[in-house]
Amino acid sequence: MFGTSGIRGRVGADVTAELALRVGRALASTGQTRVVVGRDVRESGRMLERALVAGITECGGDAVAVGVETTPTIARYVGEIDADAGVAITASHNPPEDNGIKLWSPSGQAFDEAKKREITEAIDAEAFDLAAWDGVGERTTADDARERHAAALGETLAGSGVGDLSVVVDVGNGTGRITADVLDAAGCDVETLNGQRDGGFPGRPSEPTAENCATARALVEATDADLGIVHDGDADRMLAVDERGRFVGGDALLALFGRREATEGDRVAVPVDTSLAVADALAEVGGDVVYTPVGDVFVAERAAEPGVVFGGEPSGAWIWPEETLCPDGPLAACRLAALVASEGPLSALVDELPEYPIQRDSIDTDEKAAVMDRVRELADEAYDEVRTLDGVRIDTDGGWFLVRASGTQPLVRITAEAREEVDAEALFAEARELVERAS
C-alpha cells in the first residue's frame, strides 16, 4: 500500500474515499489521537480529506484541519502543536488525476517503515477501535500553520542580504506561494509564474523538470532576474534556474547545499543514485556522503543521526535536520537565495562544480522483483563488492552503476556514471548486460 513517498495513485482506482477512511481509522486506533490534516490544490483532496477526518473522529481521535497548504507547512505544524501525527493529502509532483496520503511524525519525518507497517496491518485486519456514541472525536480548524512556517522562513533570511535580489518564483499552480511572499517580505523583487491555485496544473506539468519549466527559464533569461525558483504541486520540492536561464539540476544543488553545510568530518545523507560530483564537492571541504535508499524518508532517517548536517535527493527534496526532518521546498528556496546573495551568481557557483558523464535508461518488465533477485545473484558472482542498500550498485575506481527496480512503475532502471566518458559507457554496458541476462 505504501510506496517510497506514502500512498499514491489514480483517484477512483488506487486512491479512494474508502481508503482514506480506513487510514483515518487506523491512525486513531494505533495511538494517533490528535492528527493535523491538510491537502494540496487537487479537487479530489476535498473528498479524501472529509473521509480521512471521518475515520479519525469515528475512532475517537481529533483532527486539526489546516486547509490547503504546502506539505512542509503541514509537516512542521505537527510538532509545533504537539500533535501525534500529520497527514498531507497530496500526490506531490504527479499528474492531476492522481492523489495520495502521506503521514508525518512530530519530528517532521515521514512515517518510517515500522509506523507504515503498523498502519497497514491495522487496515488489513480491520483492527479499528470504533468509538461509542459519546466518545467520537472532533474536527477543529487552525489558521496559523502558514503564518508559523513563514515566520521560520523569515528567520532564515534575517541578515542574509537577499533584499538586493530579483527572483522569479514558478509556483506551478500549486501551494508554493509562501516562497514568493517570504522573499517579497525580505525585500526581494519577486515575479511569480503560475501563481493561481489549480489542481489541473494548467500552466505546466507539476514536476519541476527542465522541460516543464521552459517558461521560467525564458523569463529569467529575458529579464535581470538573479535567480529562478520552481516548485512542484505541494512545494516539498525545489529546483532552480540560474541568471542565464539555465535549469540547475538536483545533483548540482545537492553539491552546493552540502558543501555549504559541511565542514571537516561532517556527513551529508544522499540516495544511492546521487552523482559522484556531490561526493567530490564535499571532499573539498573535508565532508563525506552517507548513502541511503531512494526516498526522502530514508534520507531523513540518516539526516537525524549525529554528524549528518544535511540531506537531499536529486529530485529536489532538501532536509536541514536542525530545522525539520521534512523536505521543505520554501526553506530550500530561501537558503538558495541567501547563498546567491552571499557568494555570487548561481551560474558561477554551478560552473565551479565537477560534472561527469552519466547515462540512464529503463527496461520494461512485469517481473521486476524476480529480475532484481537474479541481478543480485549474477552481481555476487561477478564482483567482489556489491552494495544492495537499494537495488544493486557496483563501485569502481572511476565510477559506478546502479540497477534498481522502480518503486511505482513496471520498470528496472539503469544508471551509470564515471569521471571519464569511456568509463561511463563501459559501466552502462555492463549494467545493461546484467539486466538482460537476468530477464
The set of catalytic residues is: 92
Closest CA to 199 of 67, 91, 74, 73: 91
- Residue 111 has φ and ψ, to the nearest 5°, of -50, 135
The number of CA neighbours under 13 Å toward the Cβ of 348 is 8
- Separation of alpha carbons 203 and 206, rounded Å: 9
Q: Which ranges of 81-168 would DSSP assign to H, the alpha helix?
A: 113-124, 145-157
Strand duo 62-68 + 267-271: pairing:
unpaired
- Separation of alpha carbons 267 and 263, rounded Å: 8
Taking the chain, what is the end-to-end CA distance rounded to the nearest angstrom? 26
- From the CB of residue 10, how many other CB atoms can be counted at a distance below 10 Å? 14
The number of CA neighbours under 13 Å toward the Cβ of 99 is 26
- Separation of alpha carbons 419 and 72, rounded Å: 36
Do the Cβ atoms of 167 and 183 come closer than 8 Å? yes
Question: Which residue shows C-alpha cell 573539498?
Answer: 284
Helix (H, G, I), strand (E, B) or coil at 200: coil
What are the CA-CA distances from residue 328 to residues 276, 300, 340 (Å)?
Answer: 24, 12, 18
Do the Cβ atoms of 236 and 74 come closer than 8 Å? no
Non-local CB neighbours of 85 within 8 Å, separated by 6+ positions: 27, 32, 34, 35, 36, 78, 103, 104, 105, 106, 111
What are the CA-CA distances from residue 122 to residues 14, 59, 115 (Å)?
Answer: 18, 13, 11
Closest CA to 31 of 115, 88, 142, 132: 115
Non-local CB neighbours of 132 within 8 Å, separated by 6+ positions: none
